[in-house]
Amino acid sequence: MPAIALKGSDVQWTCADDDTIMRSALRAGLGYPYECNVGSCGNCRFDLLEGEIEELRPDAPGLSDRDRDRGRRLGCQARPLTDCVVNLRLMPQYESRFPPARREAELIEVRDITHDIREFRFLLEKPVRFLAGQYALLGLPGVTGSRAYSMANVENEAGEWHFQIRRVPNGAATGKLFDGLSIGDRIGVDGPYGTAYLRAESDRDIICLAGGSGLSPMISVTRAAAATPLLARRRIDFIYGGRTARDICGEDILAELPGFGSNIHYHPVVSNADDDGWGGHRGFVHELAGKLFSDRLPECEVYFAGPPLMGQAIQKMLIDLGVPPAQVHFDQFY
């Protein structure tokens, strides 16, 4: 097993032959900065000073040619082939409350949520704890690499991890999940990861903004928030956006929670102006959030997840409204 040493310190950890430098550091309890885990965000860049690595995704967008020429690499995509010496700055906020672990998991139940979102329920061979809003890397048989999907449920003793996933047209991973897996099939699950988890200790009101597969972590955050004694003192607003009325979902799940209709409020919004069958809010998620909550947003904890364009528009709206960054929670997968 290669040893990874941090330059200028006595920090050292081991990395399994099939693991990456970043994930092995997190498993060792170190605060290795990261976000997406799939080579997109660039937050896990490090300087490779000594040793050899294999890049799992050589064309990863998180690394520029300039970075590469300077000897930088992505920790989430770097599999060490030898002992290595690296340079990066560890940060305590990235230390995992529950370090990620790799497990086999069995598909035990599937249910449709919309025409293209389905919930997949897996039972881990051995339970692993996680925080509401975190994600896992799924290793699917016959699919190269792993994919990041967020859990929709909250941690439980049985070790069930549920994922609400939107089918990607021609996507290899969702194609496998939707059409190639049967109840009883086993996959690899690696997690938990992510820093956009519920700040359970904060007594601020909560606003959750979601679209597409972003439903999953926002449902998890709301479920966990609804289970805290703080629910009685705070309000949770949940906006879900879809292109058409048939994309809208989540209300029936939230309606099962204590406080729905009194402390928990659901606001669906449809962006396609031609959808005649829709009598509710129209527009984009960030537009409705700005319209309904512009005065309250700077005082709230804001969680969001969804497609890249939605995420970028929300980020801009929150900056324009002066929402403190410490109250904004999302994992950037683009």
Provide the binding-site residues for ligand FES, judged by CB under 6 A: 34-37, 39-44, 62, 74, 76
Rounded CA-CA distance 235/203 in Å is 10
DSSP per-residue letters across 1-57: --EEEETTSS-EEE--TTS-HHHHHHHTT-----S-SSSSS-TTEEEEEES-EEESS
- Give me the least distance between CB of 267 and ligand FES, in Å please: 31
Nearer to ligand FES, 46 or 284 (CB): 46
Nearer to ligand FES, 26 or 209 (CB): 26
Rounded CA-CA distance 25/20 in Å is 8
Nearer to ligand FES, 193 or 304 (CB): 193
Rounded CA-CA distance 202/109 in Å is 34
How open is the CA angle 116-161-196, to the nearest 5 degrees?
A: 85
- Give me the least distance between CB of 265 and ligand FES, in Å please: 33
Nearer to ligand FES, 13 or 333 (CB): 333
CB of 110 closer than 8 Å to CB of 127: no
CB of 144 closer than 8 Å to CB of 201: no
Neighbours of 150 (CB within 10 A): 32
- Give me the least distance between CB of 34 and ligand FES, in Å please: 4
- Give me the least distance between CB of 89 and ligand FES, in Å please: 15
Nearer to ligand FES, 74 or 224 (CB): 74
- Give me the least distance between CB of 122 and ligand FES, in Å please: 23
Rounded CA-CA distance 307/129 in Å is 27
329, containing H or E segment: strand 328-329
- Give me the least distance between CB of 213 and ligand FES, in Å please: 17
Written as six digits, the tokens of 167 are 């089918």
Nearer to ligand FES, 77 or 271 (CB): 77
- Give me the least distance between CB of 195 and ligand FES, in Å please: 11
Nearer to ligand FES, 25 or 215 (CB): 25
Which residue in this structure is represented by tokens 């528009």? 313
